[in-house]
Amino acid sequence: MKITKISGGSAMSTASLKREIEQKTDGIFAPSFYKAMGLREHPERAGAARAAGVKRLLCEATPYLHKNDRIAGSLYTWFISPDAPGLSEAYEICNRYGERHFMTNADHFAPDYRKLRRLGIPGLLSEIRASKKMHAGDLKKEQMLDDMEIALSGLHDLAENYADAAAAHIGQPGWNDEILTEIANNCKNLTIRAPETFAEGLQLMWLTHLAFLAEGRFAMAIGRIDQFLWPLFERDIQRGTLTEALATELLEQVFCKIYEYRMIHGSDDTVNICVGGRSISGECEVNRLSFCVVEAVKNCQIPGPNLSARISQNTPDEFLDACLVSIGTGLGYPALMNDEVNVAALMRYGYDEADVYDFSMVGCHENFITGKQPPWTDGRFDTPRFFEYLFNRGKAIRYPGDGIDTGDVAEISSMDDLISRLEMQISDGVRHYAEKFYAENRLENPDFFTSPFLSCFCDDCIARGMDINLGGAKYPSVHGADIMGIGTMSDALAAIEKVVFEGKYATLSEIRQALLDNFKGHEALRERLLAAPKYGNNDDFVDKYAVWCVDFCAGEFAKYRTPDGGGMYIAAASNTANISAGELLAATPDGRLAGEPLSDAASPTYGRDTRGVTAVVGSLTKPDYTKVASGSVVNQKFSPAMFGDANRAKLLALIKVYFARGGQEIQINATSRETLIDAMEHPEKYPTMVVRVSGFSAIYVTLPRAVQLDILNRTQQA
């Protein structure tokens, strides 16, 4: 696929908008002040109160415009004085109602923006009214649909208010009247019909996303933006009313506005944007808009938009190369996702094939059936923890916790016996994990915690007249258990096999004592354990245990369901939790000392993959990642020189081989070790340097020291 080089005057406009965003700090972000107005109106029924709360939230606040806006909508709309009368009471009212949270399906959701683009706000409202007629006489469904209509009408009001605000600024000094007129017209049009231009479609998407943020939701995905906006983009290009440079600038506007979240909350929102992929017929869906999205994210150089690229065997090299150019700036975006593996993983769960091929990602990396299932939930599952229970008869060594007593390790006579007992420990851990998840969900009164606005953007909530979490969604909720420490597990089991059962250099009892003593006085034994084969070097002796870990954990979690009957996936991920989990864990049989980080996500333990990146690929592609429906995270670090024109083709070829052999995901840092060290010593020199962390990117100097060191210690591949 060929694409015209994207260029234009967007850099100045984007930079100016970014500066405006960074300078706006007066007041406090208090959407509760407006939400409480609606909650007061309907004390008789929680659903009606919540709908009115959304309505007031979106229609009562004064719209905020930046002077450099081309797409309207700012979180600063909900800034008020900390001394505003009634603010404390508003907080009290909102706290009384409460909200769902991450573990009870509140956010991490990819809305059906394709349907919203097709119908617009008026079309969705008409669909709600038609459904009310279909369900006439069913009071509960009528009430739910009433709530949806009220909440969605708030989005209509928000668009109308922004149209009025833009019109009111026309003629004022320092404002661009032509752009204000365009904003006013676009927003006004959205109140009367579906979007007909790319700018209108992008404006509608952004106002909807903004409404989710004002509601208090986090990690709301944008999804497959290059697909749902493609018809408008293509038509405008054909008409000559849009250029790729202008489209890129408009996208940059939206992506910069995502940065407002950091200015308000002090951390970034994980807004996953997905590009690329395939159709159900296998046709590559990369298009010219896909390139514009990658270019816009690259130009913004901010950690907020979490860009993911679905890469298939049919993806053109030009697009993968554009992704690598963006990654090579140090940004770390996009994460590269293997479409063949992820589609196969999701197909295991009985979804309609067409829905699977339209999947996107939410949060850091999690695969999601776009607009057709309740919000995502997940948790961390610390697999190396079970070595403590195995070696210490069900008792933790370093931190309180209990497994089961699987006997004295002195009685274990073979690796098969050891694995069998370890499986008993893990199986018990999975059971406890599931029970804890169920208990947390049992605390909710479902009818009290409805989500009328969110339900408008999930099929088939409107048609069924039901809430997204109460049977309205086409599919039930799913939960992902993030399996941490695959590298640590594999290394530890290989070390036991090599040192105890093959070399007979030590007994399991001696290893137990060494773990209890954190290897103090057992230095020679530790050296033998460290010298055993390590994951990441394409050695079957150790890699077979990574295969076992993925297979066994996937099988155990598959025995359990979510409260509404959905699947329990696994992920191979940690998102920096490998550091905190390691702090609580005793020494492990791979030679790792107590308190040290576990291996990160699906990656080998840093510094132990010593035979080059080709060997790393060999190890990483042995587990069957079609069993990992939630997705995996593989962090790799390359020298910035690898992203120059002379070397980038080699990296591109490597990624294609990695995916062809079954690798599921890869994300790359392109910052040298020397630069990272200098940034730690002189943070004032690197205030905006973005690096890939694990499932997301962040400004390096703002990260905790432990996370900075974790990134620094990653093996830098040649």
> Which string of DSSP letters, residue by residue, matches 442-464?
HT--TTTS--HHHHTTSTTHHHH
Backbone angles phi, psi at 39, to 5 degrees: -60, -35
DSSP H/E element including 293: helix 288-300
Give, as one character, the DSSP assignment of residue 633: -
Query: What rounded mean pLDDT belongs to the chain?
Result: 95
For residue 355, give both structure tokens.
């829905």
Query: Residue 267's pLDDT band (boundaries 50, 70, 90)?
Result: confident
Mean pLDDT in residue range 442-467: 93
Per-residue pLDDT tens for 15-68?
899 888 888 778 899 999 999 999 999 988 999 999 999 999 999 999 999 999
DSSP H/E element including 669: strand 665-669
Q: Is residue 572 classed as helix, strand or coil in its secondary structure?
A: strand
Per-residue pLDDT tens for 356-415?
999 999 999 999 999 999 999 999 999 999 999 999 999 999 988 899 999 999 999 999
Which pLDDT value is given to residue 7?
32
Q: How far apart are the first and last CA of the chain?
A: 29
Task: Return the residue matching tokens 């909650």.
Answer: 39
Query: Residue 11's pLDDT band (boundaries 50, 70, 90)?
Result: low
Backbone angles phi, psi at 246, to 5 degrees: -70, -40
Residue percentage of the chain with pLDDT more than 90: 87
> Which string of DSSP letters, residue by residue, matches 483-551?
EE-HHHHHHHHHHHIIIIIIS--S-HHHHHHHHHTTTTT-HHHHHHHHHS--TTS--HHHHHHHHHHHH
Asked whether residue 1 carries a pLDDT value surpassing 60, the answer given is no
Residues 6+ apart with CB under 8 A from 400: none
d(CA 535, CA 491): 6
Task: Return the residue matching tokens 């661009």.
Answer: 176
Asked whether residue 446 carries a pLDDT value surpassing 90, the answer given is no
* Cα atoms in the Cβ-side hemisphere of radius 13 Å centred on 540: 0
> Model pTM?
0.95
Q: How far is CA 67 from CA 173, 253, 317, in A?
A: 10, 12, 39
d(CA 279, CA 534): 39
| In contact, 682 and 703? CB cutoff 8 Å | no
Per-residue pLDDT tens for 674-717?
999 999 999 999 988 988 888 788 889 999 999 999 888 888 88
Asked whether residue 5 carries a pLDDT value surpassing 80, the answer given is no
| In contact, 278 and 40? CB cutoff 8 Å | no
Task: Return the residue matching tokens 């290893």.
Answer: 511
Asked whether residue 503 carries a pLDDT value surpassing 80, the answer given is yes
Per-residue pLDDT tens for 62-99?
999 999 999 999 999 999 999 999 999 999 999 999 98
Q: Is residue 6 classed as helix, strand or coil in its secondary structure?
A: coil
Residue percentage of the chain with pLDDT more than 70: 98
* Cα atoms in the Cβ-side hemisphere of radius 13 Å centred on 648: 18
Task: Return the residue matching tokens 């994951």.
Answer: 535
pLDDT-wise least confident of 142-146, 210-214, 300-304, 307-311: 300-304
For residue 78, give both structure tokens.
């909900």
Higher pLDDT, 687 or 618: 618
Q: How far is CA 154 from CA 149, 184, 189, in A?
A: 9, 18, 16
Domains of the chain: which residue ranges?
377-631
d(CA 333, CA 491): 30
Per-residue pLDDT tens for 201-236?
999 999 999 999 999 999 999 999 999 999 999 999
For residue 238, give both structure tokens.
């054909």
Which pLDDT value is given to residue 466?
99
d(CA 403, CA 387): 10
Task: Tell me the β-bridge partners of 27.
Answer: none
For the chain, how many helices (H) and strands (E)? 29, 17
Which pLDDT value is given to residue 12?
59
Per-residue pLDDT tens for 141-155?
999 999 999 999 999
Which pLDDT value is given to residue 364?
92
Per-residue pLDDT tens for 511-562?
999 999 999 999 999 999 999 999 999 999 999 999 999 999 999 999 999 9
Which pLDDT value is given to residue 33?
94
DSSP H/E element including 366: strand 366-368
